[in-house]
């Protein structure tokens, strides 16, 4: 291909196409002409270089603008990159589709789990706790290799010949996979390290401060990035996942995320009204109960629920009117007198319910 073709023509896209269309066109053509998919085909390799060069220029806004104004002169006559450079471009965009990416042997560390038990108040208001737990750390004797004398104690893997990968043919494509024997390193342990017995890590107790935010509920997970098991051979560390378990409270519970408690009051207090003490996360507070309060009535205490110090939610108090039991003869007599003295205006709920029953045909006429 002595004469260069217009880059837009090469990719088969209009001159005003956006980046999404441009990338889609390049992907289709690069997959079609990739050298690994067309072995010993110089024409396909030339097409691959052509579409890669076109995409390299048009995907870069400044270079595309210069090309639109001045053509090939605006980009120095074209992109002088060899086939290896274009293959790197392909893999950076679409991954190792043909198994050409070099195995590094890096192994990420595993995630660790720690269960933290908190009181109801700690979970609702937030707390910072120091936790201690055994965790694998890199063996200082072998520097994480697992081999006696460190890197010097490693030998070439016989399964992959030191390449770290093995070829697998899957239909039309030739793919590669990490060597299962050496985990992609290309080397295996010769003589195991005496300290870690070949594992590359040793257990060590760690201390770590974990901050549990306010308004945390039971079962929530607090992820601490990079504080898990260390990676091997330069791999990234795992994460520490702290699972929160909230101990049940004798009084408080959560209803739809709201801190709620039930407080009993006597019939007299509900009928006559009273000022009672109710519990909160901060201690007892006085609350006024209006006369005629019904059982199940919900009261709201502003700023007494869960949350940060300056952004506390409200708490709910549900009153439960307690019916007295085991009455003495004198107490029964007083209640009978009260019942006889009550008119319909004092028991409107019963009155309305009776009317509904009669309307439905379930009450007496």
Tell me the DSSP string of 145-182: S-BTTGGGGEEE-TTTTTSSEEEEEETTEEEEEE-TTT
Phi and psi, residue 353, nearest 5°: -65, -40
Q: Does domain 102-139+200-248 have CATH number 3.30.160.160?
A: no
* Pair 166, 191: CB distance under 8 Å: no
Which of 174-188, 217-231, 278-292, 350-364 has the weakest average pLDDT?
174-188
Locus of tokens 């407080």: 263
CATH code of domain 141-198: 2.10.230
User: In the chain, which residues fall in CATH 2.10.230?
Assistant: 141-198
Handedness of CA 35, 41, 42, 43 (dihedral sign): negative
pLDDT band at 300 (very low <50, low <70, confident <90, very high): very high
- Supply 129's token pair: 């706790």
Kindly report, residue by residue over 135-154, the tens digit of the pLDDT: 888 888 998 888 888 888 89
Distance CA 235, CA 270 (A): 67
Count of H-run helices and E-run strands, the chain: 9, 15
CATH superfamily of 7-94: DnaJ domain (1.10.287.110)
Is pTM beyond 0.85? Reply is: no
271: number of Cβ within 10 Å:
15
Q: Which residues pair with 232 in a beta bridge?
A: 107
Q: 77-91 as b/e, with b when 16 or more CB fall inside 10 Å?
A: eebeeeeeebbebbe
User: In the chain, which residues fall in CATH 1.10.287.110?
Assistant: 7-94
Q: Which residues pair with 7 in a beta bridge?
A: none
Phi and psi, residue 23, nearest 5°: -70, -40
Half-sphere exposure of 254 (CA within 13 A, CB side): 15
* Pair 138, 265: CB distance under 8 Å: no
Between 121 and 60, the more confident residue is: 121
pLDDT band at 361 (very low <50, low <70, confident <90, very high): confident
User: In the chain, which residues fall in CATH 2.60.260.20?
Assistant: 102-139+200-248, 253-322
Contacts by 86-91 with C-beta closer than 8 Å and gap 24+?
86/48, 86/49, 86/52, 86/53, 86/56, 87/34, 87/35, 89/52, 89/55, 89/56, 90/30, 90/34, 90/52
| pLDDT at residue 103 in the model | 47
CATH code of domain 253-322: 2.60.260.20
Maximum average pLDDT range among 16-25, 61-70, 321-330: 321-330
Residue 94 above 50 pLDDT?
A: yes
């Amino acid at each position: 291909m002595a004469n260069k073709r217009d880059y837009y023509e090469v990719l088969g896209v209009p001159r005003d196409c956006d980046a999404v269309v441009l990338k889609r066109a390049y992907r289709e053509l690069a997959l079609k002409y990739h050298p690994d998919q067309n072995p010993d085909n110089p024409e396909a390799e030339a097409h691959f270089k052509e579409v890669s060069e076109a995409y390299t220029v048009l995907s870069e806004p400044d270079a595309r603008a210069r090309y639109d104004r001045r053509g090939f002169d605006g980009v120095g006559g074209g992109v002088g990159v060899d086939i290896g450079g274009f293959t790197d471009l392909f893999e950076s965009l679409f991954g190792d589709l043909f198994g050409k990416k070099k195995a590094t042997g890096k192994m990420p560390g595993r995630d660790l789990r720690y269960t933290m038990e908190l009181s109801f108040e700690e979970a609702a208001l937030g707390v910072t706790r120091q936790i201690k737990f055994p965790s694998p750390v890199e063996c200082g004797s072998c520097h994480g290799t697992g081999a006696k004398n460190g890197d010097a104690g490693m030998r070439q893997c016989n399964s992959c010949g030191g390449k770290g990968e093995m070829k697998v043919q899957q239909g039309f494509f030739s793919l590669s996979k990490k060597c299962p024997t050496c985990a992609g390193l290309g080397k295996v342990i010769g003589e195991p390290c005496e300290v870690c017995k070949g594992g590359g890590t040793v257990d060590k107790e760690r201390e770590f401060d974990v901050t549990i935010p306010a308004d945390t509920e039971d079962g929530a997970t607090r992820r601490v990035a990079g504080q898990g098991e260390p990676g091997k051979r330069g791999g990234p560390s795992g994460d520490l996942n702290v699972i929160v378990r909230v101990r049940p409270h004798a009084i408080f519970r959560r209803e739809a995320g709201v801190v709620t408690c039930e407080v009993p009051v006597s019939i007299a207090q509900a009928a006559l009204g009273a000022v009672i003490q109710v519990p909160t996360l901060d201690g007892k507070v006085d609350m006024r109960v209006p006369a005629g309060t019904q059982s199940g009535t919900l009261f709201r205490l502003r700023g007494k629920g869960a949350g940060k110090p300056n952004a506390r939610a409200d708490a709910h108090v549900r009153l439960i009117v307690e019916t007295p039991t085991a009455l003495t003869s004198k107490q029964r007599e007083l209640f009978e007198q009260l019942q006889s003295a009550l008119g319909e205006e004092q028991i409107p709920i019963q009155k309305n319910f009776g009317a509904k029953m009669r309307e439905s045909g379930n009450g007496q006429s």
